[in-house]
Structure 1
Amino acid sequence: MDASETPEVPSATDEHGLPRRDFLRMAGAGAGLLLAGCAPPPAFSAAPAPGIERGRRGAGSSSHVLVIGAGAWGGWTAYHLRARGVRVTLVDAYGPGNSRSTSGDETRGIRSSYGDRATGELWTPWARTAIARWQLFEQEWGPVFRTRFWHQTGDVIMRATREPFITRTIELWTKNNVAHEVLSGDEARKRWPVIKADDITVAITEPDAGVVRCRAATQAVASAAQKTGAELVIGRVRPGPIVNGQMDGVILENGTVLRADAYVFACGPWLRKLFPYMENRMRVPIGHALYFGVTVGDTRFTFPNLPSFNFPGVTGWPMLPVDSRGFRVRGAIAPPAPPAGAPRPPAPPATPVDPAQQDPDLSSRWTNQDRVDGARRFLEARFPLLANAPLLETRACHYESSVNQNFIVDHVPGTSNAWIAGVGQAEGFKFGPVVGEYVAQRVVGIEGDPALVKAFALPTQEYERPPG
């Protein structure tokens, strides 16, 4: 059926309470046809990211795929597999966007400034594609869910000197034809007078960068995948046995075995719990974000009147009025050093690592006072008008890092039908729309660019093991 041939339907309301005729019109041709029961459309009209192919399946393609993990990567993988006509079952222990998940925070920045990463050459064009995808997701699905996910804040990076991060980011942006600005300190201070930037000599901006409401978007992507035909199962699984190079199902806690042609484990920090060989190939530290209240009626710290920002060790963005969580700060400024000649206080004794804090099921997500104080020092230094702003809420989540500082999209060792897709390096959420399409491509039998296969291979190197 052509997109222009929207079928006549009764004027009854749909499950959202919206008159169905209006719902189809609001959702756009793609979403409308999906909800009318027609075949899934292409995932997006935009061109795919470098290294991604569309429109076909490879040899031995799977007809039913189980995706374990309904977070940013798992949800997008399910969405793109459905766009290729693959039957999908999406499994999650707690549900999309839950508070234990890496994608369970309220907001995430979407930008392409990767001059500080060895992976910047690869990540920059993919991040640019991801920005376009988030914009398209907003256009297609924002009206369906009657909310807003994407906010084009722009992003500014401010530094006291033109350090290598700045220089390399500009090089990558220029190479990839990314619209950007390079500002002097005086220009930056004039443009954003609420930022205290007396020491800043250079600022670079990415005008079409933005912020996505992370938890809401993760839930919406999983819901969109279901709208296109994916099935969602809430439950915890463990990998089934490997027989003749094939994984034979996954096992729910009640003993039920779920079988498919292929399996994708996109379960973030839980990868270490499912696969013992991941234990020393990835780390799962906890990051903390704090949301501060802004004065009622003062729009200077609210979207769209301030960009997202990046200072050494600290990022953040303005309050998004769609849900008014607050002014977001991630990171902190250390306490000031003692005066010259003053005795330095003794270093506190090393705190033993609590094993529970390495377990995403058991870890406490409490943000302690030291982090709050450090964030307040940042506000005092850079946003003095917010120095005494009330702390409204905090969010914390595990993120994953690896020795090679790159994503993993590779077979589970010893199998040809099971995949690991994860280790987002604290940047994975923004890449979800692109990574999901790449994972779907690999699962349907298209290996694609050998350089990407090598870049995303399961690393052989491990972190140094602690003594003892």
Structure 2
Amino acid sequence: MTLATLKKLNVRHETLSGSALEARYPQIAFGSITWAVFEPDSGVVMARRAAQAVAEEAIRSGAGYLPEAVGAPSGKGRLASVTTGSGATIRAGHFVFACGPWLPRVFPDLLGGRIFPTRQEVFFFGTPPGDRRFASPAMPTWIDFGEQFYGIPDLENRGFKIACDRHGPAFDPDLGDRTVTREGLVEVREFVGRRFPVLKDAPLVEARVCQYENTSTGDFLIDRHPDFDNVWLVGGGSGHGFKHGPALGEYVAARLADGGPVEPRFSLATKDRVRKRSVF
């Protein structure tokens, strides 16, 4: 599917054979992997820094930014306003709730069984002093679909990032324990030792617990709230929602502006209460 999409959209890419991979990335033990796709124009976006830049640009363009909690709307028909935790009232013609893993908490009856926040452990390993094989450009950002691990090269000397892409257990984004488990560390170390032999005994320099928030299919939720004419629900994105952020923003803005239909695969009706992941 990835290769077909790249070809369809004319995205520059290379299909590398096993021997080509070994020659280009000798620091990686590819094992049974016989080919891979490389995108030379791809890269890494620093999430926190990017979100701050978007907020700053929006403020410069005249938008208001309120670091407030907002309660779930009540009633039906057309929503006139929402109330923040501090008691302030926000009035608007349209309301978009894009709350990430908190979306099912804002709308528990509607989305409590359709958006699934999961616990995801992330690890950063120290690389040998002066060894640039695990930093960009010698090491690309990568994902191993077979093993369900992904990684990012050592950026800003924070360590070589590796995480499991397999969905973890259910997670409360407010109250969940954000200490990584011994089992998670053992699993990732075993993978690192096989795929990156030089890092077999690398020190763990940082670890954190994040969360995914996926729909039953793994695809986005972009649809009107069934009880309100002017309330939109946008979620199920996890990391995909962030990297597709500009396109998603344009898509949602266009729906608000022209009232066009939502693609069926994004609709609330396609979001089941049983997880059957089909989008990765």
Question: What TM-score, normalized to structure 1?
Answer: 0.54
Aligned length: 270
For 1:173-322, list aligned pairs within 5 A.
173-242=6-75, 245-275=77-107, 276-311=109-144, 312-320=147-155
Note closer, same or farther for the CA distance 1:331–1:434 as it changes in structure 2 (3 Å cut): same
For 1:446, the equivalent position in structure 2 comes to: 258
For 1:150, the equivalent position in structure 2 comes to: none
Q: Deviations over 1:354-391 (max 9, x none)?
A: xxx63211112211111111111111101111111111
AA paired with 1:319? Answer: D
AA paired with 2:252? Answer: V
1:395 is displaced (CA, Å) by 2.5
For 1:369-448, list aligned pairs within 5 A.
369-424=182-237, 426-443=239-256, 445-448=257-260
Contact 1:185 1:202 in 2 (8 A): yes
Q: CA RMSD in A?
A: 2.1
For 2:278, the equivalent position in structure 1 comes to: none
Note closer, same or farther for the CA distance 1:385–1:332 as it changes in structure 2 (3 Å cut): farther
Note closer, same or farther for the CA distance 1:332–1:421 as it changes in structure 2 (3 Å cut): closer
Contact 1:406 1:425 in 2 (8 A): no
For 1:58-137, list aligned pairs within 5 A.
115=1
Contact 1:241 1:249 in 2 (8 A): no
1:420 is displaced (CA, Å) by 0.7
1:366 aligns with 2:201: no
Note closer, same or farther for the CA distance 1:377–1:404 as it changes in structure 2 (3 Å cut): closer
Contact 2:150 2:165 in 1 (8 A): no
The match for 1:457 among 254, 267, 270 is 267
Aligned residue for 2:189, secondary structure, equals helix
Gapped runs of 5+ residues in structure 2?
276-280
Question: What TM-score, normalized to structure 2?
Answer: 0.89
CA distance in 2, matches of 1:457, 1:198: 41
Higher relative contact order structure (alpha carbons within 8 Å, sequence separation ≥ 6): 1
Q: Deviations over 1:326-374 (max 9, x none)?
A: 10101299xxxxxxxxxxxxxxxxxxx8xxx632111122111111111
For 1:12, the equivalent position in structure 2 comes to: none
Contact 1:332 1:377 in 2 (8 A): no
AA paired with 2:266? Answer: F
Gapped runs of 5+ residues in structure 1?
1-114, 116-168, 334-352
Structure whose alpha-carbon radius of gyration is higher: 1
Note closer, same or farther for the CA distance 1:362–1:205 as it changes in structure 2 (3 Å cut): same
1:212 is displaced (CA, Å) by 1.1
1:461 is displaced (CA, Å) by 4.8
1:396 is displaced (CA, Å) by 2.2
CA distance in 2, matches of 1:456, 1:195: 37
